[in-house]
C-alpha cells in the first residue's frame, strides 16, 4: 500500500503545481499554447529534456541493457547527446525566430508559409498525428502497467484478477485525468512547470535507485565484479551490430520534426534561452542513462541470499527495474521510483496532448473555419475542448489492448527522423520548392509503410535492412532518410524556385 | 569560420562515437565502471563542452539582432 500512497501524493502535488501555474494565465490563445513566448532557460531545458525522455529513459534503458549489455548507452543515449543539442542549435533557434516574427503557433503554419502551399497541412496533418498517436499510447499504457505492478497485492480481494493491484485501465485513466487537468487549466505554462518538476524528480530517482541498489548488492565494485565473473559480455557490445550502431544515428534526428518539440521551441523568451539546453542536454541524458544502464547490466548477475534477483532467461525486460527495486529496497523507495517513472511518462504526455490540441485548433478549425470570428476566449475554449477529445480518444484506443503498440515506438521515431531533411532544407536551402517538399514527405511515408509492412507491422522487433550483407543490417530510418533526401533534392531542382517574397521572408540575402 | 569548426568538431565526435576499439573490451575503470560505458559518458560530456563552445564562439547574433525590440 505504501507505493500507492506515495504515487497518490505525487499526483496530487503535480496537479496542484499545474493548477497554480494555470492561475498565471493571461487569457490569450498565445498564452495557452505558447505561454506567451516567455519561458526562460531552465524551464526550456527541463521541458525539452523531459519531453524527449519518455518512460524508456528509466525502464527501457534498464531493460535494453539487461538484454543487450551496456552498449545501449552508446546506441541510444550518447548519440542523442550529440545530435539533439546540434538540432536545437541549428534548427530550433531559427524556427523560434521565424515563429516569433511571423506569429506561428504550429509547425504546419511554418511549412504553409515557407512552401507557399495552403494545403501542405492536408498532407502533413495525418502523418504527424498518425506518428504521434502510437507514441502517446505507449505512455498511457505503460503508466497503467507500472501502477498495476507496484501495487500488486495491495487489494487482494477487490482486484484479484489483476494480482491484487490497481487494474491497468484504472491506472491509465487516473494518469490521463491528472495530465488532462493541468494541461486543460494551465495550457503550456502548466505543462512547462509540471515538466520541470517531473524532470527533476526522475533525474533524482535514477541516481537514488543506482546508489540504493548498488549498496544492496555489496557496493558498486561488488555488483560489477559479479557481472565480470558470470556474464562479462554484458559489459561489451557484442550483442549490437556495428552497422546498426552506426545507422542508429538517424533516430535522434526525429527531434527536428517532432511537432511537440517545435511548440516548445516557440515558447522561448529569447534566442539566448536556448543556450542552457544546448550545453546541458547531453549532461542530463548522461545523468539519467548511465545509472539505469548499469543497473540493467548488474541485474543479469545479481544474486542475493544465494538466489538470482532476476531469474535467468527472464523475458519481460521492461520489468527489470521495478522488480529490482521492489525486491531489494523498501516500499517507500519503490513508491518513489514509481513516481519517477510516471514523471518521465507524464512529462512527455502533457506536451503531446497539448500539441495535438494546438494542431487541431489552429491548423484545422481556425485555418479552415471562420478564422476572424473567433475571440481569444473562444480559441482557448476550442483548445481546451480538443485537449479533452485527444485524451479521451487516446485512452479509448489504449483500452482496445493494442499491446503490440509498444513495438511501434521505434517506428514513430524512424518516421520523424526520416523527415528531417525536409525541415533542414526548409530552414537552410533556398532552392527547396513546394513540389520538392511534397515529394520528400510522400516518398518517406511510402517507404515507411513498405518497410513497416515488411517488418510484419512491427512484429519483427529486430527488423534491419540487410542490403550490405547478412551481418551488416542497417536501421530502416537510414534508408527512409536517404529516400527523403533524394526525392526532395531532385524534385526541387526540377521545379520552379520559391518566390522572391518567400525567400526574403526566410533568408537574409 | 567558427561555424565550420563546429560542424567539423561534431563530425569528429560522431566518428569517435563509433568506438570499435572498445567493442569487446570488458575492463573496469575505478573498479566498477565498464570502459565502454565510461567512454560514452565522456562522449556526452564532450558534447556538452562542444555545445558550450558553440554558444560562445558561433552564436547566431544576427537572429538576436533581428528580434531585439
b/e sequence A359-395, b meaning 16+ C-beta within 10 Å: bbbbbbbbeeeeeeebeeeebbebbbebbeebbeebb
Q: Is B51 helix (H, G, I), strand (E, B) or coil?
A: helix
Mean pLDDT of chain A: 88
Query: B48 vs A283: CB contact, 8 Å cut-off?
Result: yes
Candidate from B18, B28, B60 with C-beta closest to A228: B28
Burial class (CB in 10 A: 0-12, 13-18, 19+), A113: middle
Instruction: Please give the average per-residue pLDDT across B29-57, as a whole number.
Output: 95
Number of neighbouring beta carbons within 10 Å of residue A332? 12
Whole-number pLDDT of residue B50: 96
Residue A243 has pLDDT above 50, yes or no: yes
Alpha helices of chain B — where are they, by DSSP H? 2-17, 35-57, 61-67
Query: A78 vs B47: CB contact, 8 Å cut-off?
Result: yes
| Residue in A243, A285, A246 with CA at minimum distance from that of residue A88 | A285
Torsion of CA A390, A393, A397, A398, to 10 degrees: 60
Query: A86 to chain B: which residues are within 8 Å by CB?
Result: 10
Candidate from B26, B44, B67 with C-beta closest to A100: B67
| Residue in A177, A193, A170 with CA at minimum distance from that of residue A391 | A177
Candidate from B13, B22, B44 with C-beta closest to A285: B44
Alpha helices of A69-217 — where are they, by DSSP H? 71-72, 79-87, 93-102, 107-114, 120-150, 168-216
Beta strands A307-308; A303-304: pairing state: antiparallel
| Chain A residue at shortest CA distance from B50 | A279
Residue B69 has pLDDT above 50, yes or no: no
Tell me: the pLDDT tens digits for A80-108? 999 999 999 999 999 999 999 998 999 99
| Residue in B63, B2, B4 with CA at minimum distance from that of residue A508 | B63
Question: B49 to chain A, minimum CA–CA distance in Å?
Answer: 7
C-alpha B64/C-alpha A78 separation (Å) is 30
Whole-number pLDDT of residue A23: 78
Quote the longest CA-to-CA distance of chain B.
Answer: 56
Tell me: the pLDDT tens digits for A209-223? 888 889 988 999 999
Query: B32 vs A86: CB contact, 8 Å cut-off?
Result: no
Tell me: the pLDDT tens digits for A321-357? 888 888 888 888 888 888 888 888 888 888 888 888 8
**What is the ipTM, given to two decimal places?**
0.94
Residue A459 has pLDDT above 90, yes or no: no
DSSP class of residue A458 equals: T
| Chain B residue at shortest CA distance from A281 | B48
Calculate helix-pair angle for A476-494, A409-418, nearest 10 degrees.
Answer: 30
Amino acid at each position: 500500500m505504501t507505493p500507492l500512497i506515495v504515487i497518490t501524493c505525487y499526483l496530487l502535488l503535480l496537479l496542484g503545481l499545474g493548477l497554480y501555474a494555470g492561475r498565471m494565465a493571461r487569457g490569450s490563445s498565445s498564452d495557452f499554447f505558447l505561454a506567451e513566448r516567455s519561458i526562460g532557460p531552465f524551464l526550456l531545458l527541463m521541458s525539452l529534456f523531459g519531453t524527449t525522455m519518455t518512460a524508456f529513459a528509466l525502464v527501457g534503458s534498464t531493460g535494453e541493457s539487461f538484454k543487450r549489455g551496456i552498449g545501449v548507452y552508446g546506441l541510444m543515449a550518447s548519440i542523442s547527446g550529440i545530435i539533439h543539442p546540434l538540432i536545437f542549435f541549428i534548427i530550433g533557434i531559427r524556427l523560434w525566430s521565424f515563429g516569433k516574427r511571423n506569429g506561428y503557433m504550429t509547425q504546419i503554419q511554418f511549412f504553409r508559409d515557407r512552401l507557399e502551399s495552403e494545403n501542405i497541412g492536408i498532407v502533413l496533418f495525418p502523418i504527424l498525428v498518425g506518428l504521434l498517436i502510437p507514441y502517446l499510447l505507449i505512455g498511457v499504457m505503460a503508466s497503467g502497467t507500472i501502477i498495476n505492478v507496484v501495487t500488486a497485492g495491495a487489494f487482494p480481494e477487490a482486484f484479484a484478477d489483476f494480482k491484487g493491484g490497481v487494474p491497468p485501465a484504472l491506472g491509465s485513466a487516473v494518469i490521463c485525468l491528472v495530465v488532462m487537468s493541468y494541461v486543460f487549466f494551465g495550457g503550456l505554462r502548466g505543462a512547462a512547470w509540471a515538466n520541470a518538476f517531473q524532470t527533476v524528480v526522475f533525474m533524482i530517482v535514477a541516481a537514488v535507485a543506482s546508489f540504493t541498489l548498488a549498496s544492496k548488492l555489496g557496493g558498486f565494485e561488488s555488483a560489477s565484479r559479479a557481472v565480470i565473473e558470470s556474464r562479462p559480455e554484458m559489459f561489451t557490445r557484442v550483442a549490437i551490430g556495428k552497422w546498426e550502431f552506426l545507422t542508429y544515428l538517424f533516430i535522434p534526428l526525429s527531434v527536428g520534426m517532432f511537432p511537440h518539440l517545435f511548440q516548445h521551441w516557440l515558447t522561448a523568451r529569447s534566442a539566448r534561452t536556448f543556450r542552457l539546453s544546448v550545453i546541458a542536454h547531453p549532461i542530463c541524458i548522461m545523468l539519467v542513462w548511465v545509472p539505469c544502464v548499469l543497473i540493467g547490466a548488474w541485474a543479469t548477475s545479481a544474486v542475493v541470499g544465494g538466489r538470482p534477483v532476476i531469474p535467468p532467461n527472464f523475458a519481460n525486460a521492461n520489468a527489470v527495474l521495478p522488480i529490482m527495486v521492489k525486491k531489494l529496497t523498501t516500499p517507500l523507495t519503490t513508491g518513489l521510483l514509481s513516481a519517477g517513472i510516471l514523471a518521465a511518462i507524464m512529462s512527455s504526455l502533457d506536451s503531446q496532448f497539448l500539441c495535438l490540441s494546438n494542431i487541431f485548433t489552429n491548423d484545422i478549425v481556425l485555418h479552415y473555419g471562420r478564422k476572424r470570428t473567433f475571440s481569444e476566449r473562444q480559441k482557448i475554449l476550442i483548445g481546451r475542448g480538443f485537449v479533452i477529445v485527444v485524451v479521451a480518444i487516446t485512452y479509448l484506443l489504449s483500452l482496445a489492448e493494442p499491446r503490440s503498440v509498444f513495438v511501434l515506438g521505434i517506428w514513430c521515431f524512424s518516421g520523424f527522423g526520416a523527415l528531417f531533411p525536409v525541415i533542414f532544407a526548409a530552414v537552410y536551402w533556398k532552392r527547396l520548392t513546394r513540389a520538392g517538399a511534397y515529394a520528400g514527405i510522400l516518398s518517406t511515408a511510402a517507404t515507411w509503410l513498405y518497410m513497416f509492412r515488411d517488418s510484419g507491422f512491427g512484429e519483427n522487433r529486430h527488423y534491419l535492412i540487410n542490403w550490405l550483407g547478412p551481418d551488416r543490417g542497417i536501421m530502416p530510418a537510414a534508408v527512409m532518410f536517404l529516400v527523403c533526401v533524394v526525392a526532395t533534392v531532385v524534385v526541387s531542382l526540377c521545379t520552379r524556385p520559391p518566390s522572391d517574397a518567400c525567400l526574403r521572408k526566410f533568408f537574409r540575402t | 569560420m567558427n561555424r565550420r569548426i563546429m560542424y567539423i568538431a561534431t563530425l569528429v565526435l560522431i566518428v569517435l562515437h563509433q568506438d570499435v576499439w572498445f567493442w569487446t573490451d570488458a575492463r573496469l575503470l575505478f573498479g566498477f565502471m565498464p570502459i565502454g560505458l565510461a567512454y560514452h559518458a565522456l562522449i556526452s560530456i564532450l558534447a556538452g563542452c562542444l555545445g558550450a563552445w558553440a554558444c560562445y564562439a558561433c552564436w547566431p547574433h544576427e537572429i538576436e539582432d533581428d528580434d531585439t525590440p
